[in-house]
Amino acid sequence: MHSLNQEIQAFSRNNLRKQCTRVTTLTGKKLRETWKDATVEVVEEEPGGGGGCGYVQDLSLDLQVGVIKPWLLLGSQDAAHDLELLRKYKVTHILNVAYGVENAFLTEFTYKTISILDVPETNILSYFPECFQFIEQAKLKDGVVLVHCNAGVSRAAAIVIGFLMTFEEMEFTRALSLVKSARPCTCPNPGFVEQLRAYRVGRGNSGDD
């Protein structure tokens, strides 16, 4: 069991006051995450742009789907809520690791919902077994699984990176690079990055293809 209540309490105390978070990716790209209602909007900042964390001008839907494998996709809640897009990519299973995002098409797809908070203190590794089992089940059924969170930048990306590290025996940097090439806005929070690096070390060289 995850101490989700404790995570929520810690999140409420430490993070709810922060309307906005700035993130610099490994390639130097600057992103701004802004909470609006119960969702996160991510916009890329102009180089050298200071500015406040106030109004987000880019309100367009994020329908870019990262194709990690023919059967493994990464995206945002916008993609998960676009039926036409899901059908285009032949999605059969949807892994929702967002917090507070409803599943839209319960009769159309097989869902699994695991509420994960996008804060560095979250133990993302503890969610791996349950997530990986769902992904593997979809693959064994010749399905296509979409992994999404709110913005499709941190939580869902960390799950996909961990999956590649586990089942493809990839080093963290290679897995991150592959996921970023499929979905350029990928940027797990610093806590997730630290855990993923340690996860590879802790696993040793075991695993299967």
Catalytic sites, residue numbers: 149
Q: Which residues pair with 34 in a beta bridge?
A: 20, 41
Would you say 155 and 116 are in contact if contact means Cβ atoms under 8 Å apart?
A: yes
First-last CA distance in the chain: 29
- Strands 66-69 and 110-113 come out as unpaired
Helix and strand numbers, DSSP H then E, in the chain: 7, 8
Q: Cα–Cα distance between 187 and 176 in angstroms, integer?
A: 9
Are 153 and 32 a contacting pair, CB within 8 Å?
Answer: no
